[in-house]
Structure 1
Amino acid sequence: MTEQFKQSIEQALHNPNLTGALGRFSEAYVISRAKAYEGIDFEGLRSRIAEIKGGAAERLEELAQQFQREAEARGAKVFRTSSPQAVKEYILNLAREKGVKLVVKSKSMASEEIHLNPYLEQAGLTVKETDLGEWIIQLAGQKPSHMVMPAIHMTKEEVADLFSKEVQERLTSDIPRLVKVARQELRQYFLAADMGISGANIAVAETGTLVLVTNEGNARLVTTLPRIHVAIVGLEKLVPSFTDIAPILQALPRSATGQLLTSYVSMITGSTPNPDGSGKELHIILMDNRRSEMARDPKFKEALQCIRCASCLNVCPVYRLVGGHVFGHVYAGGIGTILTAWFDELKKSEEIQGLCIMCGRCREVCPGKIDIPELIVEIRRRLVKEEGQSLTQKAIFSGVLSNRRLFHSLLRAASLAQKPFARGGFIRHLPLFFSGLAEFRSLPTIAETPLRDRVKQIKQTPAREKAVFYAGCLIDFAYPQMGEAVIKVLNKAGIEVVFPEGQTCCGAPARYNGAFEVAAQNAVDNLKALLSTEASYVVSACPTCTAALKHEFISTLETQGRQEWLSRARELAAKTVDFSSLVKKLVDEGRLTLLEGETLEKVTYHDSCHLKRTLKVWQQPRELLQKAGYQLAEMFEADMCCGMGGSYSLKFPEISAPILQRKLQNIKNTGATTVAMDCPGCVMQIAGGFDKQGEGIRVKHTAELLAEKLK
């Protein structure tokens, strides 16, 4: 991470206007979006959009040819190019040929992508943005910080200052007044402009139609008043037929701003006369800029399903802290990282891709059904493949995590070395350059006796049914009591628990950092260990590990060409189950009974990201806790990331800390004395945060709370 990038993060985090504006919008957005989608089958709708856009990506060249043919038959001129420079030269040459001096623009991310404005201005043209947000950032000399709301990072007071300088009049921050000033100021440009430049949200190959979706009237003025209209359209906007418009229009406003419908939906099919009756010129530039190359990539073609709603930004816990000027280049957030890697270059995404905490909220709300976190992992893999691992990564992943005996020996050694710093199960202070690790949260101590040693002392009654327990590193070496609770609960249901000693790291740390070769070897080592015993289940009480066993072993081995292990990986995936889902099944079958009768203990529940979003489990632990008699109090943003993110909290402690503080406050606001969760990583983060604050709230794994309430 460069010093400049680190400073940009610090500046954003210490800008209360930025974090305040983004935080307020994010909270309001979740509510308005849910209301907007009431009565709509979102999964069905986004499956349809993914089908339309994914199918179009498979035949971009065919659709581009059809669009050009149909648009030109209706009087438009279509220019196709793969070069951003060629787009800019075409527009400038057209402007010079037609004597254009003034250009008005409606919002166009494609024009931002190729840095069109400075190019035209350097050539002597006057270029005016007319979208309110775009005009604000043009006056401020900034880039958009959001794909839909480019000036979301600015306060009304900042906007008032900008407008005051522009109109040379002292303006207050009264929003209706500022809007009126903008309307009056921009009207003269609409009337005087010779050329209007727009983008397009959809381009219909069947009819050569452009569809523009806007909330302001400026786009209609830009596309109708000037005698020349130029539309810059990325190839990914192509859809085959006119009927394909409806699903996208249904999702776009709901996902972008939580609206049922935008103020204006404009459809332009061919050239239309100017108001004075003269012939109007319509130039449509179909811009490639590596989109065709992306469509041919088996992994990244999925990104072309994006409809540019920016819902991924609206729900991202990192974006709402640092904004798009840090978490982005031209396009912001998770999808912006992917587009930057393609439309610009892979190297330019190197720093911003690290900002993704892998919480999966973007994947959950994306109307194009894009697995953004998985594509960011693929960027990391390709960066490692091109540039190799850093010395630190090599030492950790290739040197330690790929060697089970060395890894476990180091953990055992650390349990001895920590003694001068350990108090009450926590490490609250560390010396020298380690001090930052315990700055915003206390760290758990490494257990003197890991779970793998304790298991040998647990007396189990031999049973007909067996479950293999995959503990994961944290439960094995930091929280063995969680593992003992899992064994106690399953034993009570008549299941004998087997703990294979050959199990090792699940490979998630290596995989999420792009070190797929190490992750693949971790997968192979675990397959050997976990399938060595015949059992009905492989159970894990760590969602990150469960997701690795159930999903990621297969994809990692496929990517690395380890075909010989795929059948075993699928066998393991079929047997793997998370703790709460298995226990809920056992309770429903009558094999396990929990104590009845409500207790006075109020418990709130935190959803870990992998459990809810990858494994689709969130109701089961809540139902179990209620069956065990706990009073369940739902917290605000229960499924928002706690800021742990594996090694994320070590790489970006300045971002992890405020995410954690928000979570701790939401927990305290419930009045609960205990917070439950199914993830040992979340326990580490949240328990460490409360210990640092001196709070007495209990932080427990669901397994521990259920073990207390067995009949």
Structure 2
Amino acid sequence: MSEKEGLKNNVREALANENLRGALGRFGDAYIGARENAYAGKDFQELRGQIAAIKGAAAQNMEELARRFAESARSRGAKVYRARTAQEARDYIKKLAEEKGVRKIVKSKSMASEEIHLNEYLNQHGMESVETDLGEWILQLSGQKPSHMVMPAIHMTRGEVADVFSEEVKRQLSSDIPELVRVAREQLRKKFLAAEMGISGANIAVAETGTIVIVTNEGNARLTTTLPPVHVAVVGMEKLVEKFADVKPILEALPRSATGQKITSYVTMITGPTPAAYPDGSVRDKELHIILLDNGRTSMQSDPVFKEALQCIRCASCLNVCPVFQLVGGHVYGHIYTGGIGTVLTAFFNGFQKASDIQNLCLGCERCKRYCPGNIDIPRLIRELRRRVVENNGLPGMPKFVLEKVLPNRKLFHNLIKTARAAQKPFQKGAMVRHLPMFLAGLTEGRSLPAIAEKPFRDIVLTGHRPPATGDQTKVGFFAGCLTDFVYPQLGEAVHKVLRHMGMRMTFPVEQTCCGVPAIYMGSRKAAAELARRNIAAFERDGVEHIITACPTCAHALKHQYVELLDTDPGWRKRAEYFAAKVTHFTAFVAEKSDNGELPGLQRGNMRITYHDSCHMKGCLGITEEPRALLSAAGLQLAEMEGSDRCCGFGGSYSIKFPEISRRILDKKLAAIEATGAQMLALDCPGCLLQLSGGLDSRGKALPVKHTAEILAQQIAGSGKS
């Protein structure tokens, strides 16, 4: 079985595990509120800026900080070892244990030790290494790996834990949590008292003082680091910071972002060896060994793009808000670190090939970026990882043909659209396609598809009558995007009607083509850059003052990604920057040009509606209040849904690659919409319109779904067809 087939099977198994989905879903739902409460009174943006500056500077000077840390720690009596590889770290600990006659080891939670597979290695060499974190111990007894960086056993029910503990103590236990905790304490206390070595990780390592900082919610880490006569700390080099003062902002953010706590139960700072009681009754300083683990970190540090990942503080907030992780958990990622950031870490710690398939799990909703306290642009790193995978392995045949031959060739592209329009006729009912045959059947499982329009928007523009422009009219260029152009031309007409109502002249450069997002998300930078150049040139010829689009995904590409795509060509970069400065999403543009969202001459409605914040609209463009202001000013009653900014599960080709995941995310979104009792769903993204209207239609729900532009156009006084 190939890795790709294995990933698909793992996803199916995870989705079939109701306990897993229930536990992750409940935590994910509760996490947002708990996190908001924990950050109350804190300026998160300022705090994450401080952390990014501290960690970014530390990453830039990693080698120097490692040298200074080693010097400071040694001056206080610690022994420091630089391990270039996982094997070097394992061998150092094994050799040390053999020299000291160690056979019993206790270990507190450490992702770095998981990364180097330390337990298995020590056990193979005749040493008993026991996890003492409750979640990690449960997994060790059951032979499983962590599914979450902070809550490793979140996927297990208390009934499953009771069975594991019953097997360990050789008697049947109930699933009563206090009883299970009591049993764990009894069993682990014996391990602590018998241990000859304790192994821990560290959350922070301070170069100035040689201090390691350990943040935990259980007392096991303190017992691990104090009771045994030898303490070994395995510390990834990304944990280094320059000054002791740098610890404060990280401590403020780590518990708040990890579990929604203001502070964890235990913050332990160790600076040099501490006194310990030995079996012979003497009291003397214990041995402290600190292993600074590289294992790919200096390679990451030398990479101009991926060095940003070293700003990670391992809080796992990116996992907690990820709609995919909440459904499938961490085991499907196949390695120690999970989720979006885990995919990047896997590429450097285990090899790029190991991450070539799991990077496809990223939906591209960009939610993780908003919550990361290290201010890491994880989606950008995933896209770069994808690009490098494609650069090394190439694109599969059909995607390669579409991206490199079809999309840049407008005539071929439009002819294929016409062919598809004719082919859909036997399966079309009204404006929807509810069933497709043979290998296409999966496209309509759990979601109807909109029919391709009889006449694309570009043809309506070319043949329709438009009133002549007056000299003082603002000239606005409209970028349609593929869905508006070929599936929802009425959306383009609505945009035109609203702009005309505002006294503006809309133009449509017919040379425009796909925005390039499919190429970007499939890893073909070359194809995306070519589409960017074509679109920039098309609008330059039109000489517009503003460029608007009704699609936030297109707006994000035009405004932010084109500059990145054309960065290596100074001439095109300058043109991309000038182009990007003109780009605005339609709804934000109308809100800005209106009087607090009030458009004169609109008929006021009285309908109860709910609003869906599309991922790129809120997460990338920062637009959330503007559509609400426009809709409220038009007299519509807004009923906010729970999780209005949670993804609908579309993700373009994602809904084709992982239809089961897409459908599960869609189901949750539709339930939130239905719970509002709204008479209409408003949104601002054609992709979300496709997904949500198709989901409602396939479930027999008659709730209308409208773009803000359509709602405003319908309420223009004396409105007729534009």
User: TM-score range with shorter-chain normalisation?
Assistant: over 0.9
Q: Residue 649 of structure 1 contacts residue 656 of structure 1 at CA under 8 Å; is this kept in 2?
A: yes
Letter in 1 for 2:527: V
Q: Which residue of 2 aligns with 1:197?
A: 199
Q: Which has the larger displacement, 582-591 or 195-204?
A: 582-591
**Which residue of 609, 625, 630 corresponds with 1:603?**
609
What's the RMSD between the two structures over aligned residues?
1.1
Give the deviation of 1:8 after TM superposition: 0.8
Change (3 A) 1:458 1:309: farther
Letter in 1 for 2:533: V
Tell me, in whole angstroms, the C-alpha distance in 2 between the residues paired with 1:609 and 1:630. Answer: 23
Q: Which residue of 2 aligns with 1:86?
A: 88
**Which residue of 453, 461, 469 corresponds with 2:459?**
453
**Which residue of 381, 389, 392 corresponds with 1:383?**
389
* Secondary structure of 1:196's aligned partner: strand
Q: Which residue of 2 aligns with 1:474?
A: 483
Q: Which residue of 2 aligns with 1:210?
A: 212
Tell me, in whole angstroms, the C-alpha distance in 1 between the residues paired with 2:618 and 2:30. Answer: 22
Tell me, in whole angstroms, the C-alpha distance in 2 between the residues paired with 1:176 and 1:234. Answer: 35
**Which residue of 397, 401, 407 corresponds with 2:407?**
401
Letter in 1 for 2:697: D
Q: Which residue of 2 aligns with 1:54?
A: 56
Change (3 A) 1:170 1:566: same
Give the deviation of 1:594 after TM superposition: 5.0
Letter in 2 for 1:372: I
Q: Residue 48 of structure 2 contacts residue 374 of structure 2 at CA under 8 Å; is this kept in 1?
A: yes
* Secondary structure of 1:135's aligned partner: helix
Structure 1 residues 230-261: Cα deviation after superposition (integer angstroms, max 9, x where no partner): 00000000000000000000000000000011
Tell me, in whole angstroms, the C-alpha distance in 1 between the residues paired with 2:310 and 2:594. Answer: 44
Change (3 A) 1:655 1:594: farther
Tell me, in whole angstroms, the C-alpha distance in 1 between the residues paired with 2:544 and 2:400. Answer: 36
Letter in 1 for 2:170: Q
Tell me, in whole angstroms, the C-alpha distance in 2 between the residues paired with 1:408 and 1:130. Answer: 62
Give the deviation of 1:327 after TM superposition: 3.2
Give the deviation of 1:169 after TM superposition: 1.4
* Secondary structure of 1:370's aligned partner: coil
Give the deviation of 1:592 after TM superposition: 3.8
* Secondary structure of 2:174's aligned partner: coil
1:339-378 aligned at under 5 Å gives the runs: 339-378=345-384
Tell me, in whole angstroms, the C-alpha distance in 2 between the residues paired with 1:206 and 1:460. Answer: 71
Tell me, in whole angstroms, the C-alpha distance in 2 between the residues paired with 1:625 and 1:170. Answer: 60
Percentage of matched positions with identical amino acids: 57
Change (3 A) 1:534 1:16: same
* Secondary structure of 1:171's aligned partner: coil
Q: Residue 20 of structure 2 contacts residue 329 of structure 2 at CA under 8 Å; is this kept in 1?
A: yes
Q: Which residue of 1 aligns with 2:520?
A: 511
**Which residue of 567, 574, 578 corresponds with 1:571?**
578
Q: Residue 597 of structure 2 contacts residue 630 of structure 2 at CA under 8 Å; is this kept in 1?
A: no
**Which residue of 95, 98, 111 corresponds with 1:96?**
98
1:209-608 aligned at under 5 Å gives the runs: 209-275=211-277, 276-456=282-462, 457-463=464-470, 464-558=473-567, 561-588=568-595, 592-593=599-600, 595=602, 597=604, 599-608=605-614
Letter in 2 for 1:491: R
Tell me, in whole angstroms, the C-alpha distance in 1 between the residues paired with 2:97 and 2:151. Answer: 29
Structure 2 gaps of 5+ residues are 718-722
Letter in 2 for 1:499: F
Q: Residue 598 of structure 2 contacts residue 634 of structure 2 at CA under 8 Å; is this kept in 1?
A: no
Q: Residue 136 of structure 1 contacts residue 162 of structure 1 at CA under 8 Å; is this kept in 2?
A: yes
Give the deviation of 1:556 after TM superposition: 1.1
Tell me, in whole angstroms, the C-alpha distance in 2 between the residues paired with 1:65 and 1:2. Answer: 42
* Secondary structure of 1:532's aligned partner: helix
Letter in 2 for 1:238: L
Q: Which residue of 2 aligns with 1:136?
A: 138
Change (3 A) 1:424 1:659: same
Give the deviation of 1:590 after TM superposition: 9.1
Structure 1 residues 158-201: Cα deviation after superposition (integer angstroms, max 9, x where no partner): 00000010011111111111111101100011011000000000
Change (3 A) 1:350 1:473: same
Letter in 1 for 2:11: I
Structure 1 residues 538-565: Cα deviation after superposition (integer angstroms, max 9, x where no partner): 000000100010000110112xx33321
* Secondary structure of 2:275's aligned partner: coil
Tell me, in whole angstroms, the C-alpha distance in 2 between the residues paired with 1:617 and 1:684. Answer: 20
Give the deviation of 1:596 after TM superposition: 5.8
* Secondary structure of 1:620's aligned partner: helix
Structure 1 residues 317-369: Cα deviation after superposition (integer angstroms, max 9, x where no partner): 00010000013510010000000011110010111100000111110000000
Q: Residue 598 of structure 2 contacts residue 630 of structure 2 at CA under 8 Å; is this kept in 1?
A: no
Tell me, in whole angstroms, the C-alpha distance in 2 between the residues paired with 1:14 and 1:98. Answer: 48
Q: Residue 595 of structure 1 contacts residue 629 of structure 1 at CA under 8 Å; is this kept in 2?
A: no
Give the deviation of 1:591 after TM superposition: 9.2
Q: Which residue of 1 aligns with 2:720?
A: none
Structure 1 residues 571-610: Cα deviation after superposition (integer angstroms, max 9, x where no partner): 111000001111101212899425364x331110000000
Tell me, in whole angstroms, the C-alpha distance in 1 between the residues paired with 2:233 and 2:407. Answer: 52
1:576-655 aligned at under 5 Å gives the runs: 576-588=583-595, 592-593=599-600, 595=602, 597=604, 599-655=605-661
Structure 1 residues 350-390: Cα deviation after superposition (integer angstroms, max 9, x where no partner): 11100000111110000000000110000000001111111
Q: Residue 597 of structure 2 contacts residue 626 of structure 2 at CA under 8 Å; is this kept in 1?
A: no
Q: Residue 233 of structure 1 contacts residue 284 of structure 1 at CA under 8 Å; is this kept in 2?
A: yes
Tell me, in whole angstroms, the C-alpha distance in 1 between the residues paired with 2:214 and 2:259. Answer: 16
Q: Residue 103 of structure 1 contacts residue 193 of structure 1 at CA under 8 Å; is this kept in 2?
A: yes
Q: Residue 596 of structure 1 contacts residue 627 of structure 1 at CA under 8 Å; is this kept in 2?
A: no
Aligned length: 708
Q: Residue 213 of structure 1 contacts residue 264 of structure 1 at CA under 8 Å; is this kept in 2?
A: yes
Q: Residue 215 of structure 1 contacts residue 264 of structure 1 at CA under 8 Å; is this kept in 2?
A: yes
Letter in 1 for 2:110: S
Letter in 1 for 2:562: F
Q: Residue 479 of structure 2 contacts residue 549 of structure 2 at CA under 8 Å; is this kept in 1?
A: yes
TM-score (norm 2): 0.97
Give the deviation of 1:459 after TM superposition: 2.0
**2:30 pairs with 1:28:** yes
Letter in 2 for 1:54: G
Q: Which residue of 2 aligns with 1:160?
A: 162
Tell me, in whole angstroms, the C-alpha distance in 2 between the residues paired with 1:400 and 1:143. Answer: 44
Change (3 A) 1:304 1:700: same
Structure 1 residues 527-548: Cα deviation after superposition (integer angstroms, max 9, x where no partner): 1111211222100000010001
Q: Residue 257 of structure 2 contacts residue 373 of structure 2 at CA under 8 Å; is this kept in 1?
A: yes
Change (3 A) 1:591 1:453: farther
TM-score (norm 1): 0.98
